[in-house]
Copies of this chain bind each other. A is one copy, B any other.
Amino acid sequence: MLRIRVTRALRDFTLDVDIESDNGTVVLMGNNGSGKTTVLNMVAGIARPDAGVIKVKEKTFFDSEAGIDVPIEDRNVGYVFQNYALFPHMSVYDNVAFGPRMRGAPPGEVEERVKHELEALGMWGLRDAKASRLSGGQKQKVALARCLAARPSLLLMDEPLSALDAETQAWTRSCIKQHIRDGHMPAIIVTHSLADAIELGDMVFIMDRGRVAASGRADEMLKNGSHTFINSFFR
A residues at B contact (CB < 8 Å): 11-12, 29-33, 36-37, 82-83, 125-126, 129, 133-138, 140-141, 158-159, 162-170, 192, 194, 229, 232-233, 235
Contacts and interface: CB of A to CB of B under 8 A. Distances in A.
Nearest to A38: B135
B129 A11 contact: yes
Contact of A166 (B83, B126, B133, B192): B192
For A12, A163, A165, which residue has the most chain B Cβ atoms within 10 angstroms?
Answer: A165
Nearest to A235: B170
A31 B135 CA distance: 10
Contacts of A30: 165
- What 10 pairs between A and B have smallest CB-CB spacing? A32-B137, A167-B232, A33-B135, A82-B136, A166-B232, A162-B162, A166-B233, A31-B165, A165-B192, A33-B138
Contacts of A133: 11
A137 B207 CA distance: 14
From A30, A136, A168, residue with most partner B Cβ within 10 Å: A136
A12 B164 CA distance: 19
Contacts of A129: 11
Centre residue among A135, A138, A168 by max chain B CB count within 10 A = A135
A194 B165 contact: no
Given A12-B126, A192-B165, A32 B170 contact: no
Given A32-B135, A37-B135, 7 more contacts: A32-B136, A82-B163, A164-B192, A166-B194, A166-B233, A167-B229, A167-B232
A164 B83 contact: no
A123 to B, nearest CB: 9
A37 B169 CA distance: 19
Contacts of A141: 32
Given A83-B83, A170-B235, A232-B170, A134 B33 contact: yes
Contacts of A36: 135
Nearest to A141: B32
Give the one of A37, A167, A229 with max B CB within 10 A.
A167
A10 B105 CA distance: 35
Contacts of A194: 166
